[in-house]
Structure 1
Amino acid sequence: MIEIRRDERRTVVIAIVYFALVMAGWFMLRPLREDSGSSIPAGERATLYTWTFVCSLPAVPLYSWLVSVFERRKLLVALYAFFCVNLAAFWWCQSQGWFTGTLDRVFYVWASVYNLLIVSIFWSVVVDVFDSGQGKRLFGIVAAGGSIGALVGSQVTKSYFEHLARSGLYLIAMGGLVACAACAIALLRTATVHDARTPRDARGTGGSWLGGFTLVLGRPYLLALAAQTLCITFGSTILYNEKLELVAAVYPRREDRPEVFATIDQYTNVATLIGQSLITAWMLRRFGLRVALGFLPVLGLLGFAALAWLLGASSIQHALYLVVGFEVLRKAAHHVFEKPAREVLFTVVSREEKYKAKEFLDVSVYRGGDCLAGWVYPALQSAGRTLPAWSAVPLSALAFLVTGFLAREQRRLAEPKAAAGTDVASSG
Structure 2
Amino acid sequence: MLKRFVNVKDEEAGPVLLSFVYFFTLMCGYAILKPLRDEMATAGGVKNVPWLFTATFGVMLVAVPAFSALVSRWPRQRVIPLVYRFFLLNLLAFFVVLKLGVGRDGVARAFFVWVSVYNLFVVSVFWSFMADLFVSEQGKRLFGFIAAGGTAGMLVGPFLVKHLAEPLGATNLMLFTAVLLEGSAQCVRLLSRRTPVVPARAVVAEAPVGGGVFAGLRLLFSSPLLLGLGLQMLLYASTSTFLYNQQAHIVDKVASGANARAAAFADIDFWVQVLTLVLQTVVTGHLIPRFGLGVALAVAPLLTALGFVGLAAVPTLGMLIGFKSLRGASHYAFERPGREILFTGVDRETKYKSKGFIDTVVYRGSDSVSAWMYSGLDKLGLGTSGLALAAVPFAGLWLAVSLWLARHQRAVTPAQAPPLGPTADATR
* Category of TM-score, reference length = shorter chain: over 0.9
The residue type equivalent to 1:358 in the other structure is K
Counterpart CA distance in 1 for 2:104 and 2:169 is 14
SS in 2 for 1:380: helix
Who is 2:282 aligned against?
A: 278
Who is 1:408 aligned against?
A: 407
Quick one: structure 1 residues 200 and 305, their matched pair in 2 at CA, closer, same or farther if it must change by over 3 Å? farther
Taking the TM superposition and a 5 Å limit, the aligned residue runs for 1:8-407 are 8-98=12-102, 100-192=104-196, 194-201=197-204, 202-311=206-315, 319-383=316-380, 384-385=382-383, 386-407=385-406
Counterpart CA distance in 1 for 2:160 and 2:350 is 36
8 Å CA contact retained: 1:56, 1:367:
yes
Where does structure 1 differ by over 6 angstroms across 4 or more consecutive aligned residues?
Answer: none
8 Å CA contact retained: 1:120, 1:359:
yes
8 Å CA contact retained: 2:215, 2:353:
yes
The residue type equivalent to 2:282 in the other structure is L
The residue type equivalent to 2:325 in the other structure is V
TM-superposed deviation, 1:236: 1.1
TM-superposed deviation, 1:397: 1.2
The residue type equivalent to 1:327 in the other structure is K
Which segments of 5 or more consecutive residues in structure 1 lack a partner in the other structure?
A: 312-318, 420-428
Counterpart CA distance in 1 for 2:24 and 2:365 is 27
Counterpart CA distance in 2 for 1:203 and 1:142 is 25
TM-superposed deviation, 1:191: 4.7
8 Å CA contact retained: 1:191, 1:200:
no
The residue type equivalent to 2:366 in the other structure is G
Counterpart CA distance in 1 for 2:33 and 2:247 is 18
Q: CA deviation digits over 1:167-189, x for unaligned, max 9?
A: 42222211111111110122233
TM-superposed deviation, 1:162: 2.5
Quick one: structure 1 residues 118 and 339, their matched pair in 2 at CA, closer, same or farther if it must change by over 3 Å? same
TM-superposed deviation, 1:418: 3.7
The residue type equivalent to 2:61 in the other structure is L
8 Å CA contact retained: 2:36, 2:170:
yes
Stretch moving more, 89-98 or 124-133: 89-98
Which segments of 5 or more consecutive residues in structure 2 lack a partner in the other structure?
A: 419-428
Counterpart CA distance in 2 for 1:355 and 1:389 is 35
Aligned residue-pair number: 411
TM-superposed deviation, 1:405: 2.0
Counterpart CA distance in 2 for 1:138 and 1:264 is 28
TM-superposed deviation, 1:243: 0.8
Counterpart CA distance in 2 for 1:106 and 1:57 is 16
Counterpart CA distance in 2 for 1:222 and 1:351 is 14
The residue type equivalent to 1:397 in the other structure is G
The residue type equivalent to 1:66 in the other structure is L
The residue type equivalent to 2:199 in the other structure is A
SS in 1 for 2:202: coil
Q: Percent identity?
A: 39
TM-score (norm: length of structure 2):
0.93
The residue type equivalent to 1:368 in the other structure is G
TM-superposed deviation, 1:203: 1.4
Q: CA deviation digits over 1:259-292, x for unaligned, max 9?
A: 1111111111110100010111211101111110
SS in 1 for 2:7: coil
TM-superposed deviation, 1:200: 4.6
Who is 1:422 aligned against?
A: none
TM-superposed deviation, 1:349: 0.8
8 Å CA contact retained: 1:141, 1:276:
yes
